[in-house]
Copies of this chain bind each other. A is one copy, B any other.
Amino acid sequence: MIELRSDNAAGVAPDILAAVEAANTGSALAYGGDDLTAHLQDVVRSVFDHPSARAFPVTSGTAANSLALSAATPPWGAVLCHPTAHIVTSEAGATSLFGGGAVMQGVEGDHALIDPDRLRATLDSVRWGDPHESQPSVLSLTLPSDLGTLYRPEEVTALAAIARGSGLKVHLDGARIANAVAALGCSPADVTWRAGVDVLSLGATKNGALSAEAIVVFDDRIAEELVYRTKRAGHVTSKMRFQSAQLTAYLTDGLWLRLATTANRRMAALVAELEDLDDVRLTERVEVNMAFVELPPSAIEALAEVGLLCYRMSPTTVRLVTSWQTTEADIGGAADAVRKALALAPGV
C-alpha cells in the first residue's frame, strides 16, 4: 500500500532516531533541567536568528497551539483565525479549555488564507472595551494552511501589522512550517518574528520526529506564562532530554528543511502526473506536500483496492499528503493507482 493519508503516518527519520539513542547516556536532571534542553535553546536562537527566543518542547501539535494561545489571550479574549484552521476544526476546543473559556472567531479568505481586508473589517467592527463582547486578542495564522497553501513573508507581515495595530498578539500554527519555509525559500525569521509573530507552534512530528513539537516564543511575557502553563497541563515531560534531542537534531544542519523538501518535491512530482489525467482536478493550488483532488466517486471507492491510501474529504474529493518518507517509487505507484482507479470506475 502506498501511504498518502497523512505525514503523521510516516515513521521517524534515521537522524532523529539516532539522536534519541545518543541521548540515552548517563543520567540527567528531569523536567528540562538537562544539557540537551539548554542546548536546544541555542539552536533555536541560531536557526531563528533571534537573541532570546525560547523553545518549550511538547508532544503534540494540539498542545503547542492551545498552550501558546492560552498564554497570549486573556480568558475573555477571542482568537481570530481562518474557519478552516486546525484549532477550530480538529482540536476539540483545546484552546477554549486552556484559554479559560476564550473563544475562536473565523475570518474568511480564499485558499484558506485570511484576507487582510476582512481582518481589518473584523477589527473595525469590534466594540473595544465592551465586556459583553469577546475581545479579539490574538491572530492565529496557519502556515501552510490546512489546504496546503502559503502566505508569503510579506503577507504574514501585513496581517500581523493589522493585528498588532489593534493590540493583538500574533500566533503562527506551524505544524508543517518546515514545508512552508522550504517552499518559500525564506529564512525562518522572515515568516515569524521579523514578520510580527510572537509565538510559533513549530511542528516536527509530521516531518520525521518521534514525538516532539516545540512552542517557540519571541515574546518574554508569553514565555514566562508558558513555564507554568506547560507544566500544569502535563506537557513538561520528565525525560525532556529525549524530546530536546529530537528537536535539536531536526533543526541542526538544515535537516528539517531537507526532509520537508523531499516531501514537497514528491508532491510536485505527483501533481505533474495527475495534471495530465482526464477526470482529475486539483481543487486547490499545491504549494507544499498536500493536494486536494477531485475524482469520480467510483474512482475514489476503488483507490484502496488498487493500493493507494488517502483521506476522503467528500464523496468526490480526496486529500493526498506526502512525507519525508515518500519515495519516487511511491509517486509512480500512486499515479498508477489513480489511473487504475479511473479505469475501474464505471461510466467514466
Contacts and interface: CB of A to CB of B under 8 A. Distances in A.
Given A63-B235, A242-B211, A102 B93 contact: yes
B135 A60 contact: no
A232 B91 contact: yes
The bracket for how many chain A residues form the interface is 35 or more
A344 to B, nearest CB: 24
A38 interface: no
A12 to B, nearest CB: 5
Contacts of A103: 93, 96, 103-104
Contact of A229 (B76, B206, B309): B76
Interface stretch (A25-33, A138-146, A150-158, A192-200): A25-33
A243 B248 CA distance: 20
Given A100-B75, A238-B61, A239-B8, A131 B26 contact: no
A236 interface: yes
B30 A237 contact: no
A229 B60 CA distance: 14
* Majority DSSP secondary structure for residues of A touching B: loop
B9 A132 contact: no
Contacts of A134: 92-93
Interface in A84-105: 89-94, 96-104
Contact of A232 (B11, B12, B131, B231): B131
B228 A131 contact: yes
A10 interface: yes
Contacts of A131: 92, 227-228, 230-232, 236
Contact of A92 (B8, B97, B132): B132
A46 interface: no
A60 to B, nearest CB: 5
A21 interface: yes
A62 interface: yes
A20 B18 CA distance: 12
A133 interface: yes
Nearest to A234: B63
B30 A9 contact: yes
A5 B31 CA distance: 13
16 contacts: A5-B27, A11-B24, A11-B26, A60-B234, A60-B235, A61-B238, A75-B229, A76-B231, A91-B232, A92-B135, A94-B101, A94-B234, A103-B104, A131-B228, A233-B233, A234-B235
The list of the 5 closest CB pairs from A to B, nearest first, reads: A63-B234, A97-B101, A8-B30, A131-B231, A3-B27
